[in-house]
Amino acid sequence: MTQRVHATRRVWLPAALFGAFALVILGRLVQLQILEHEAYAQAARSELFASNTIYATRGSILDRNGNVLAASVDTWDIYVNARAWKDEMRANKGSAVLGRALEMDPAELRAMVENAETVDVLIKRDVPYEIGKQLLDQELEGVIFRSNTDRVNPEGDLAAGVLGFIGLDNVGLAGIEAAYNEVLQGKPGRVIFERDTTNDFIPFGEYVASEPEPGRDVVLTIDRYLQQLCEEYLADAVERHQAVDGGSIIMMDPNTGELLCLANTPSIKFSQLDLSDPSILELMKNRAVTDLYEPGSVMKVITAAAAIDVGAVTPNTTYEDTGVVDVAGIELRNWRNRSYGTQTMTGVLVDSINTGAVFMLNAMEATSPGSFQRYLEAFGFGKPTGVDLQGEATAIFRTPDDEGWSPVDAATQSFGQSISVTPIQMLTAIAATINGGKLLRPHLVKAIIGPDGTRQEIQPEVIGNPITPETSAQVREMLRAVVEAPDRDHPGKPTNYSAGGKSGTANVPIGGSYNDTQIASFVGFAPAENPRILVLVKLNENQDLQTGTEAAAPVFAALADEALRYLNVRPEASR
């Protein structure tokens, strides 16, 4: 008879424990191999593989004649693998070679690597290509070279406020560099490669690369020579008239909207650029585009153009000026309480008569109620011009639809108070009064050139027609009379060319009132019959308290002579 074996605790307990252990192992294997496979595979891959971004060559920025204002050059970013430099001999050799080439102390280099919290320690960015290449050829262990590009400006600080600059990631942060970043930047590539335990590239390991697409070149409307001229004249005027808040000069082709120069002070300078300085945020603004001011008597040009266009007056319409006008119980007076007797509308501009501007406004409203507001909108006030720079501000002024509006608002707006504009907006509106009535979008980019040489021209863009060509011709002659009145020698009169223009002198509004500081400005064009240039000169808070005619107009006159000579415009024999 066969004896039956009975399971005992001594048998089944170890079996159960081994079974449970097997289940735990199996569960863990399922977790690692199935449930978390991707995560662990990715972790393993990250240990085995490294990747670098290959920045595309950023496009150049050129002036209208092809002169290079900003370009990229090949450089190297140099890193050290901290694990590799744990070997003292390797660290000493590498730091000695790097120190000589990069003008750095070898001991400080070793300390930098030793104390770093990352494996790959950045030693220096944008090392010149030739220096980096020489170091690369020495095959220093643990030293990593990553290709990069550096932005250079061959013309120094010229047009720095227009060009702007890029950050460490090669992305534009200000100016054209920011506004046209997608055009200039191109598309970066990427390289993925196998690495060894010291993070060095394995020569015959897996290597995958996607090539970058180069950026496109941007051709500006700016002329290098005219930009330099404007910057020099602005710096001189700011110093001479003690304009403590700087100023602006803009030169435009009034027939196309192309900006030939755009100068501001204060502004960024490449030679003094410190991104860690909080004040850089203020300097990054292009003040001709972002800052508002009351234009003063320059606005009388818009009022005259509107009144003539609506049929309310002609340049020869007369009125009797007593020096004061009552508007809704408020007395509005001329500059320095002057009175001028019988005056034409041309005389209103020549003598800059506030009450004359109110007369034109009243005549306009009597002919076509609400027309002043409609013309302000038609000239582009209250909306951005669309200039191709970031941060553009729009004009601020009270309208009849606003709470608290009164006829006094419209009256003061007619001679340039109670309305705030940007310099670029004022210049754009004045351009429409002298170019046949075309409101053009001001622009800084003339063309875009692809890597294959394909050139895309940026055409002038008409965004409105606020007045007729006939009105424009009349206003142009009125402004010529301002500068060329036979009985006076106007400071804005160029030596070799006919011209027209209008000055503005406005106190700075503070908290609903005005303080003792002022803004002096002048907008002028030349030659008078067929304007090639339109220039706005603006001086902020000039301490000598000279008017726009006295301080800003002479700057225009000198600029016009030099700029037109440079543009090969024949001097006019009658001058």
Element (H, E) at 124: strand 120-128
Question: Locate tokens 């209250």: which residue?
Answer: 382
Position 445 scores a pLDDT of 98
Q: Look at residues 475, 498, 470, 389 and name the one whose alpha carbon lies nearest to residue 429.
A: 475
**How is 213-254 classified by DSSP, letter by letter?**
BPPPEEEES--HHHHHHHHHHHHHHHHHTTBTT-EEEEEE-T
Report d(CA 337, CA 445) in Å as an integer. Answer: 46
**pLDDT, mean of residues 430-450:** 98
Cβ atoms of 250 and 210 closer than 8 Å: no
**pLDDT, mean of residues 7-22:** 65
Proportion of the chain above pLDDT 90, given as a percent: 65
pLDDT level of residue 163 (50, 70, 90 thresholds): very high
Position 515 scores a pLDDT of 75
Report d(CA 479, CA 165) in Å as an integer. Answer: 39
pLDDT tens figures, 29-86: 666 566 665 665 555 555 555 666 666 789 999 999 999 999 998 888 999 888 888 8
Cβ atoms of 373 and 399 closer than 8 Å: yes
Report d(CA 173, CA 171) in Å as an integer. Answer: 6
pLDDT level of residue 232 (50, 70, 90 thresholds): very high
What's at 414, amino acid-wise? Answer: S
Q: Look at residues 540, 539, 528, 533 and name the one whose alpha carbon lies nearest to residue 574.
A: 528
The average confidence (pLDDT) of the chain is: 89
Question: Locate tokens 């002479």: which residue?
Answer: 554
What's at 434, amino acid-wise? Answer: I
CA dihedral 468→470→471→473, nearest 10 degrees, is 120
Helices (H) and strands (E) in the chain, counts: 19, 23
**How is 49-108 classified by DSSP, letter by letter?**
EEEEEEPPPPPPEE-TTS-EEEEEEEEEEEEEETTGGGSHHHHHHHHHHHHHHHT--HHH
100, two tokens: 């000589």
Cβ atoms of 230 and 251 closer than 8 Å: yes
pLDDT level of residue 206 (50, 70, 90 thresholds): very low
Position 404 scores a pLDDT of 87
Q: Look at residues 488, 538, 563, 508 and name the one whose alpha carbon lies nearest to residue 260.
A: 563
Phi then psi for residue 131, to 5 deg, are -65, -45
Q: Look at residues 456, 495, 501 and name the one whose alpha carbon lies nearest to residue 482.
A: 501
Q: How many CB atoms lie within 10 A of CB 488?
A: 12
Provide CB contacts within 8 A for 18, sequence distance 6+. Answer: none
Position 187 scores a pLDDT of 83
**pLDDT, mean of residues 519-523:** 97
Report d(CA 392, CA 395) in Å as an integer. Answer: 10
pLDDT tens figures, 460-511: 999 999 999 999 999 999 999 999 988 889 999 999 999 999 999 998 877 6
CA dihedral 331→335→337→339, nearest 10 degrees, is -100
Element (H, E) at 365: helix 354-367
Report d(CA 566, CA 106) in Å as an integer. Answer: 54
**Helix ranges restricted to H, 394-548:** 407-414, 423-434, 469-484
pLDDT tens figures, 545-572: 999 999 999 999 999 999 999 999 999 8
Report d(CA 552, CA 537) in Å as an integer. Answer: 6
**How is 296-317 classified by DSSP, letter by letter?**
GGGGHHHHHHHHHHTTS--TT-
Question: Locate tokens 């009849």: which residue?
Answer: 400
Provide CB contacts within 8 A for 358, sequence distance 6+. Answer: 325, 327, 332, 411, 414, 415
**Helix ranges restricted to H, 368-502:** 371-378, 407-414, 423-434, 469-484
Cβ atoms of 406 and 289 closer than 8 Å: no
Phi then psi for residue 189, to 5 deg, are -105, -175
Question: Locate tokens 């090969």: which residue?
Answer: 568
**pLDDT surpassing 90 at residue 234:** yes
pLDDT level of residue 574 (50, 70, 90 thresholds): very low
Question: Locate tokens 């609400």: which residue?
Answer: 370
Report d(CA 492, CA 503) in Å as an integer. Answer: 9
Position 414 scores a pLDDT of 97
Q: Length of the chain, please? A: 575
Position 209 scores a pLDDT of 59
Cβ atoms of 392 and 408 closer than 8 Å: no
Q: Is the peptide bond before 106 cis (omega within 30 degrees of 0)?
A: no
C-alpha radius of gyration, the chain, whole number: 35
**pLDDT surpassing 70 at residue 139:** yes
pLDDT tens figures, 323-358: 999 999 999 999 889 999 999 999 999 999 999 999
pLDDT tens figures, 350-386: 999 999 999 999 999 999 999 999 999 999 999 999 9
**Which residues is 252 bridged to in the sheet?**
259, 534
**Which residues is 526 bridged to in the sheet?**
533
Report d(CA 448, CA 451) in Å as an integer. Answer: 10
List the beta strands (DSSP E) in 390-532.
Answer: 396-397, 419-420, 439-440, 445-449, 455-457, 462-464, 500-510, 513-526
Position 6 scores a pLDDT of 56
Q: Is the peptide bond before 407 cis (omega within 30 degrees of 0)?
A: no
Q: Which carries the bigger pLDDT value, residue 214 or residue 234?
A: 234
Position 5 scores a pLDDT of 52
